[in-house]
Structure 1
Amino acid sequence: MRTIVITGGTDGMGAALARHYLAVGDRVVVIGRDQAKFEALRATAASPANQGATGSTTFDSGAARAEFVAADLSSIADSRRVVEQLRREHESIDALVLAASFIRRHRHLTAEGHEASWVLFFVSKYLLVTGLADRLRAAGRPIVVNTAVPGTRADAIDFDDPGMSRGFSFARANAQQRRANELLGLLATAEDPRLAYVTWGPKGLVRTGFTGEVGPGMKMAAAVLGAIAGKHPDVAVRPIIDLIDAPTPGRAAYRGAKPAPLVGGEHDREDIARLAEMIDRDFR
């Protein structure tokens, strides 16, 4: 039985992945903010068990293999607590899917004094990937799937002001997070060459709602277009399932099932070191 950890696993594609892996008999740890949504997910979980002597298929409940860790991953304290709990309760982790999302169009400071999007979309992922490195290493074929859409400029990170106290924009913040997550893949695979690390984004629209501060116009447009042309989350995650079930060591990037180019810069190694130093300085 594999252990699959999914952040943002109560909604959309994260929930679709959780349903799939509970159905095939794996242990699934969902990290999220909404206990009620998790209970609804767990209530529907069932997986085919071994066939009996008569050849008939019986079913066992997946509820016992579904675990929930309540956390807001825009909180450094919650992110650290999640890492500690996972380390305490699991000796190995086969797949870590980083899918938590809360879109903010404007700069927002958390109660801890950090820019919320930077923490949610990168710092929490850094803490999870590095904090769980030995648990991933203990698995036979470990993989991290990071739903940070691949592809952005190599110079997208503002190392002097990553919280963007000056000149914040959604586009700048998004590009910075995406680049930082690609560098995180370089760090993670350098430390464990057996690890598969994939930055992944969907190909086209997915029939799921935006979570966050996106305004009624964008939500309505997404709902209408998604209903017309969007893929159901259960279909959209099929490429992720294929990647998890047959991981290839090293870094890769995909849009849907199609490989995407990895961004390379002249100073990748130096930039990785600067990111690590920044985390140690500002978030430990």
Structure 2
Amino acid sequence: MKTIVVTGGTSGIGQALAHTYLDRGDQVVILGPDPAKGKKFLDRAEKTGAADRAFFIEADLSLVSENQRVIGDIKTRFTAVDVLVLCARYFRSYRTVTPEGFEHNFALYYLSRYLLGYGLADQMDKADRPIIMNIAGPGAGTAGIQWNDLGLKHGYDGWSAMFQGGRLNDLLGVSFADESRGHRARYVLLFPGGTRTGFAGDFDPATAAYVDRMKNAAQPVEFAIPPIVEIIDAPPREPLSAIVEGTPLSLLRPAFDKDAAARLDSITRELLHNKLSAS
């Protein structure tokens, strides 16, 4: 029996993966901010006889403190973590800053994935074939990263914030998979193709209309799940993989530049150090 941790596990791809592995007999931990959605997951598990293997941790993953609490909770309750699926994301047409002072998209889409990956690395090292599945949009390059304004204080745009988040996750994967880190978990950056998920967000009218059109043209969630499950069940041998709609990408692309990854890692560590020192 594997232990699967899923962020964004109350809707869309995350929810479908959580149900898939719970139905297969694994124990599944979903993380999310909505207790009502968490209860629905637990109620379903009870009805299917899987209540003892289903767990919901209520958390606002846009907050560093909440990520730390979740990491501590998982370490206390579970000996090992086999799979970490990172799906949580929330689109914002209007710039929003968290109570901790980070731009929301940067905090949820990037910082949370950084914290959970490194924070649970020791638990994953105890698993047989651990894997981190980061559902993002790999391979776009680094040109869109605002290095001197990662919080996008100047000229914020919701799409730019989301695309920058994807680029930051590419570099996160590069840093995590560096051999000098010594982590056993295989890191997979994956875009499954346009998928009819909830695409949660706070949209301006034009963006809301565009998102509706995207949903109508996208594949059903159930179509996206089998390829993801196949990778999770048989993790790649390579420390880092990037896959777009079933096609592996070359890690020689600028998107996976090691110098840029080291730069981002240094910036992130300083941001977190400053935040924790001020707490």
Question: Which TM-score bucket, shorter chain as reference?
Answer: 0.7 to 0.9
2:111 matched to 1:123?
Answer: yes
Note the residue ranges of structure 1 that are not aligned, 5 or more in a row: 48-59
The secondary structure found in structure 2 opposite 1:92 is: coil
Residue 14 in structure 1 maps to residue 24 in structure 2: no
Distance 1:273 1:81 in 2: 22
1:173-228 deviation per Cα after TM superposition (whole angstroms, max 9, x unaligned): 22322222112112222223532111111213x2222211124554455446534x
Equivalent residues in 2 for 1:1-284 (5 A)? 1-45=1-45, 61-190=49-178, 191-192=181-182, 194-204=184-194, 206-216=195-205, 218-219=207-208, 222-223=211-212, 226-227=215-216, 229-249=217-237, 250-262=239-251, 263-265=255-257, 267-268=259-260, 270-284=262-276
- How much has 1:22 moved relative to structure 2? 0.4
Residue 260 to residue 105, structure 1, CA distance change in 2 (3 Å): farther
Paired with 1:113 and 1:198, the residues of 2 have a C-alpha distance of: 29
> What is the CA–CA distance in structure 1 between the aligned matches of 2:183 and 2:118, rounded to whole Å?
14
Higher mean C-alpha deviation, range 16-25 or range 187-196: 187-196
Larger radius of gyration: 1
For these two proteins, the number of residue pairs brought into alignment is 270
- State which drifts further: 235-244 or 189-198: 189-198
C-alpha separation between the residues in 1 aligned to 2:215 and 2:159? 22
RMSD over aligned Cα, in angstroms?
Answer: 2.3
Question: Residues of 1 paired with 2:220 and 2:163: CA distance?
Answer: 26
Q: TM-score of the superposition, structure 2-length normalised?
A: 0.88
CA distance in 2: counterparts of 1:181 and 1:148, whole angstroms: 7
Task: Classify 1:164/1:141 alpha carbon distance in 2 versus 1 (closer, same or farther; 3 Å).
Answer: same
Q: How far is the alpha carbon of 1:234 from its aligned partner?
A: 2.1
Relative to 1, partners in 2 of residues 1:45 and 1:183: Cα closer, same or farther, differing over 3 Å?
same
The answer for unaligned runs of 5 or more in structure 2 is none
Q: State the alpha-carbon separation in 2 of the partners of residues 12 and 137 from structure 1.
A: 28
* Structure 1 residue 253: Cα displacement: 1.2
Q: 1:264 to 1:113 in 2, by over 3 A?
A: closer
Identity of aligned residues (%): 35
Shift of 1:237: 1.9
Distance 1:37 1:273 in 2: 34
Q: What is aligned with 1:55?
A: none
Q: Distance in 2 between matches of 1:34 and 1:226?
A: 23
122-131 or 214-223, which deviates more: 214-223
Q: Give the Cα–Cα distance (whole angstroms) in 1 for the partners of residues 140 and 267 of structure 2.
A: 17
Structure 1's consecutive aligned runs of 4 or more residues displaced over 6 angstroms after TM superposition are none
Partner of 2:256, secondary structure, is coil
1:159–1:274 contact (8 Å) kept in structure 2: no
Q: CA 1:111–1:85 in 2, change beyond 3 Å: closer, same or farther?
A: same
CA offsets per residue over residues 116-141 of structure 1, 9 Å max, x none?
A: 11000111111111111101111110
Work out the CA distance in 2 between the residues paired with 1:107 and 1:260.
32
Q: Supply the distance in 1 between the matched residues of 2:213 and 2:16 (Cα, whole angstroms).
A: 21
**Aligned counterparts of 2:204 and 2:156: Cα–Cα separation in 1:** 18
Assess if the C-alpha contact under 8 Å between 1:104 and 1:212 holds in 2. yes
Does the 8 Å contact 1:79/1:124 carry over to 2?
Answer: yes
